[in-house]
Amino acid sequence: MTTDESSILDQDYSEAMIRIQQLHKQLQRELRESNFVAARNTARKVAVDAMLIGIWCREFVDKK
Q: What is the pLDDT of residue 54?
A: 87
Residue 12 in any domain: the answer is no
Domain with 49, as residue range(s), is 31-64
pLDDT higher than threshold 50 for residue 3: no
Give a three-class secondary structure readout of the chain.
Answer: CCHHHHHHHHHHHHHHHHHHHHHHHHHHHHHHCCCHHHHHHHHHHHHHHHHHHHHHHHHHHHHC
Residue 11's pLDDT is: 67
Backbone dihedral angles phi then psi of residue 34, each to the nearest 5 degrees: 60, 35
Cβ 22 vs Cβ 52: under 8 Å:
no
Q: Note whether residue 9 is domain-resident.
A: no
Q: What is the pLDDT of residues 10-62, one digit of tens each?
A: 667 788 889 999 999 999 999 999 999 999 999 999 999 999 888 888 887 88
Total number of domains in the chain = 1
Q: Does residue 24 sit within a domain?
A: no
Residue 7 lies in a domain: no
